[in-house]
Every structure is written in C-alpha cells, then in structure tokens.
C-alpha cells in the first residue's frame, strides 16, 4: 500500500500539451430545463481534474456527455480528436477509449469478476481469451483483489465491487477515465481503499475527470478543481488556490458547507 505522503509526487506529474477532451460551448436541456450552459473545458493529457458543486448542478450530466451516455444539443465535444455526433462509429470509438466508473458500480451480476473484466476486451477489442484473462488478472492485482477473480459481484463488498469496476475500465486500456462520485455509495472504511486505487492510478499518469466531494483526494492528486453550479462552470483553479482563496461567493458558500459539516 502506498502511504499518502508518497502521493505528493502525483502533484509533480507531467501534463502533456495534447488535448484529450475538449468541450466548447456545450449546452444541454432536459425538456425545458437547461442543465448545461455554455460549458467550455479543455483537458490535456495527464491532467487530473476534480469536479465539484452542489447537488443538481449538472456535474454528472457534463461528465456523461463526454462518453455520450447523454446527448448534448448545442456546442462541440471532441475526445481524442474525434467529435461526438450522431455518427455511431465516432460514439463507439470514444466509448472504447474512455473508461467510466459509476456511483453504483454497474458490474454485471451474471458474470464472475474475471468475466466482467474480460467481456469488453474480448468482444470489443477482439482480444484472444488467454490474453484478456492475463490482462484482467494484472489489473485485479493492481486494485489488490486478485483472489476474488472467480466470485460473482454479488458476493463482494461495496469497496471491492468499485475496485473491480475500476479494473474493468482499465482492461480496455482507456486514454481517459471518468469517475462519477465513485465513493459516495460506500461506507467510510471502504472509501479509503477505493481512493487509494484512484490515487495510484493518478500517479501512473492517467488522464482523469472525477466528480467527487472527497476534498482530500482533490488536494492530493488534482491539478485542477472545477466548481459547477446551476449548469455553469463557476470557477476553476489549482487545489491550493481553490481551497484557500476561492474567488466567487458561491464557491465560498459551497466550500463552507462541505468543509464544516
């Protein structure tokens, strides 16, 4: 296990100059309800971005637009040089290259842990089964649960399930990882084991976008924190500046609520 002091090094990780994800002027409505308003966001290779904001501010919606689980109505989203449009080829390309971890894990209960991990490599990447199994075991070791490979998700604890979900995304060798409140369905003692895995992942240079309210995580690994409210990006800054020197009143209010409850 990596002691948290080690994690500091993640802060000095190199950030590339090539753009991995770019949202420009993105707008989205649910019926009459304007969820995303002129979102502009550029994510460079190797960046670790934490997105926070009050409930209902559109964090999940924004992050889900990046792999087209939600469709945006105006603006442009480009992932790894591919623009998301109605073109199914583009959508499938983006989904292959972008991993996503959900609040409720969304593991497949009818498959063993190993089968959960190898499903996409075998059927999407057309990897031979032997190779996929080996890769899956490698990632299970990375999330420290190789001994659970032949169990079913229903037999694991929440923390273990979330680590399996992370490993499942990693098996596709993604260029970007999206996390939507990966720890908020977990008990406190399990949050730690999941965060440790995420910190290690950040140290390995993965480009990450995390919606989370784990401010400790944001301080240790994020190079940028984004604050959203009412469908807008209100403020973005380095963690130090963001936490110690918030600019907008809404950010101050949010931080006071989240840090002193």
Ligand X SMILES: Nc1ncnc2c1ncn2[C@@H]1O[C@H](COP(=O)(O)OP(=O)(O)OP(=O)(O)O)[C@@H](O)[C@H]1O
Residues that bind another protein in the complex, under the rule CB under 8 A: 67, 69, 88, 92, 95-96, 98-100, 102, 104-110, 119-120, 123-124, 151-155, 157, 165, 168-169, 172, 189
Query: Interface mask (CB under 6 A) for ligand X, residues 30-49, using x and -?
Result: x--x-x--------------
Contact between 61 and ligand X by CB under 6 A: the answer reads yes
Taking the complex as a whole, how short is the minimal distance between the CB of residue 107 and another protein, in angstroms?
7
Taking the complex as a whole, how short is the minimal distance between the CB of residue 135 and another protein, in angstroms?
14
Give me the residue label for tokens 């970007």. Answer: 176
Taking the complex as a whole, how short is the minimal distance between the CB of residue 2 and ligand X, in angstroms?
28
Contact between 51 and ligand X by CB under 6 A: the answer reads no
Pick from 259, 180, 238, 170: nearest CA to 15:
238
Q: What is d(CA 50, CA 160) in angstroms, rounded to the nearest whole number? A: 23
- CA-based angle 133:134:135, to the nearest 5? 90
Q: What is d(CA 40, CA 23) in angstroms, rounded to the nearest whole number? A: 5
Pick from 229, 235, 258: nearest CA to 247:
235
Q: What is d(CA 188, CA 116) in angstroms, rounded to the nearest whole number? A: 25
- Structural Rg of the chain based on CA atoms: 18
Taking the complex as a whole, how short is the minimal distance between the CB of residue 162 and ligand X, in angstroms?
16
Of 60-68, 91-99, 141-149, 215-223, the window that binds Mg ion (rule: CB under 5 A) is: 60-68
Residue 88 half-sphere exposure toward CB, CA atoms < 13 A: 0
Contact between 183 and Mg ion by CB under 5 A: the answer reads no
Contact between 72 and ligand X by CB under 6 A: the answer reads no
The contact set with ligand X (CB under 6 A) reads: 30, 33, 35, 53, 55-61
The contact set with Mg ion (CB under 5 A) reads: 60
């Amino acid at each position: 296990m990596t002691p948290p002091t080690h994690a500091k090094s993640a802060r000095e990780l190199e950030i590339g100059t090539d753009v991995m994800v770019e949202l420009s002027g993105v707008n989205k409505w649910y019926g009459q309800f304007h969820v995303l308003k002129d979102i502009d966001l550029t994510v460079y290779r190797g960046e670790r971005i934490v997105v926070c904001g009050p409930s209902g501010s559109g964090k999940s919606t924004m992050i889900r637009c990046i792999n087209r689980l939600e469709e945006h109505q105006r603006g442009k989203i480009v992932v790894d040089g591919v623009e998301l449009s109605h073109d199914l080829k583009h959508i499938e390309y983006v989904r292959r290259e972008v991993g996503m971890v959900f609040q409720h894990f969304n593991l497949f209960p009818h498959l063993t842990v190993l089968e959960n991990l190898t499903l996409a490599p075998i059927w999407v990447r057309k990897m031979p089964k032997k190779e996929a199994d080996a890769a899956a075991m490698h990632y299970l070791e990375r999330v420290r649960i190789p001994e659970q490979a032949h169990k079913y998700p229903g037999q694991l604890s929440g923390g273990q399930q979330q680590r399996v979900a992370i490993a499942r995304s990693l098996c596709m060798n993604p260029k970007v990882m999206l996390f939507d409140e990966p720890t908020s369905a977990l008990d406190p003692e399990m949050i730690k084991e999941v965060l440790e895995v995420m910190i290690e992942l950040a140290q390995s240079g993965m480009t990450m976008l995390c919606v989370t309210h784990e401010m400790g995580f944001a301080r240790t690994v994020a190079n940028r924190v984004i604050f959203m409210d009412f469908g807008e990006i209100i403020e973005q800054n380095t963690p130090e500046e963001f936490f110690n020197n918030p600019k907008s009143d809404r950010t101050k209010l949010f931080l006071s609520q989240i840090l002193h409850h």
